[in-house]
Structure 1
Amino acid sequence: MYRREPLPEALKIIASSQAGVLTRRQAREHGLGDSQIQRLLRQQNWHRLDCGLYLTEGDRPSWSQYAWAGVLLGGEGARLARESAGAMYGLCQRSLPIVVSVPHERGVASRRWAQFVRERPHPGSRNFTGRPPRTPIEETVLDLCQDADEQSLVALVTTATQRLTTPFKLTRALDQRQRIAQRRLLRDMLTETADGVRSPLEYRYRNGVERPHRLPRPARQLRLPSGRVADCGYPAFRLLIELDGIAWHSGAAAFRDWRRDNRHSEDGWQTLRYGWRDVVSDPCGVAGNVGSVLQVRGWTGTLHRCQHCPR
């Protein structure tokens, strides 16, 4: 009968910082031999997660533990990438397999729960952030945009530039990449986010309603005397445009919108409010409505008929 194997305090700290995952090498560096590791597996509810990888907390690995296991298995220079890095930033759902990028000269066999991607050197290929290590936010966004359709790409860029990075930093990262799919769309999108576009619906409005019909350019993210910020508006004509996204406001949120619109009308402002279906399904009708109201309020321009307008 062996006495209960004590775990060195320094090793406890390392395990805690890695979501409860340890490598055999880390255990040996802190004085544990193979026989001691075997006793820990028997006595202290450790589990063998992979060859040379141990789970010291819990019976079933969590997503975070799989993420740490993938990075540790990948070795020096390994980092979470693509959807797994995106999940760490809140851009993607947490899912398996974990995607781990490793230096190109190193081959690591993929597991059921982990996919290892060999990465050729390029500017930024050795950069990482956070724990577990992951690709920087700019690199992650560009990686995710590679296979994204237009709508998903727009959503990724607008979400990232609202709270995680800036259009300037993303543009700089884009310029450093020699090969990338949809470069032109990405550059256009980054130009527009720098100009105040903050959501996929605002992007659709600008490119499906405003530009094709040659409406005057509004002020974006317009701050009103009340302190509230409108999606866009025309101060000269005291007209606000509000875009309500895919899910139309309902209940208390809708009541607040109406009450706010009513208060603005007391100051001579009119609010036009459109949802996703309006802008995507009937951009010409929306343009006609905005153009007519602008003309009533003093705009002397002419609404242009685009190729999709009914003749």
Structure 2
Amino acid sequence: MSTLAVSSFSLHRILGPLHLERQTADGGFEEFELPLPREHSLEEFAVLVRDRLGVTAVELCQIQFDSSSQPRAEALASALKASGVRVLTVPIDIGDLAGGSDSARERDMARIERWFAVAHRLGARYVRVNTGSPVSGGTAEDRSGLIASLRALAVTAERDGMRLLVENHGGPDSHPDFLLGLRAEVGPEHLGILLDLGNFEPVATIGHARLTGKSFDEAGVDREPVYEHIARLAPVADLVHAKAYDPASDGSPLLDLDRALGIVAASGYEGSISVEWEGIEGDPWTRTAETVAAVRAAFPNLA
């Protein structure tokens, strides 16, 4: 059944620190924390989504968990069951499946699979991983490690009743050709596409700059390619992120969400949609509620 969900990232300003990682010179990763206030736990977030927004499904981002331990997953799963809220998807933002050595990819796959276990315990329908940056050159040989990694991760996800997704999530993987090529090479029966309406260039770079407090000159920026890319991926998408931003500096929509949702609806898309408010102005609950209303208007049959 197609479902409307709300991503925990919509409330990232009040759900506590973000647990991120960056690549080191030796090809490994080091963790770092972006400190943010915690007004609510993930358990409380789920209940508030139900009570304030009338939505009973959530997307829980791995970077907002404080632990991947089994006791933490068990406690969260029990709380979600008691509240009547279910997990639609868990986006996982660790590792680099495209670059580095075979041993580095194997290490990253093992770390990702530990989060698969968390997602499975929470009853998630989807798990999303990052592709990393494609190896320089972009030939079939260059991508063999990435393809092999995705195939192996798909087997693990399928074993636990989940579907593996990749997303237009910045960089080369934000171009439809790249994602469609991966889907074809891994096999559409094993790998799906998460279409994020707001993660195509130039909108993605502008949105990221705002989140990190950097300036970006929006004057004359052509945003039409965003809608062209949405039209290409919508017919084959497994899941959609309805992402919303603050307006552009001239007051126009940075992303015209109504237009984007209209393109998705016109494609015949009948899957689930997860709301992701990514602005920095105003009350995040109010902004998320406005985004939920926009999705409901475009897709009135979502559960």
Q: Is the pair's TM-score, using the shorter chain for normalization, greater than 0.5?
A: no
Which one scores higher on RCO, CA 8 angstroms, separation ≥ 6? 2
Q: Report the TM-score, using the length of structure 2 for normalisation.
A: 0.27
Larger Rg: 1
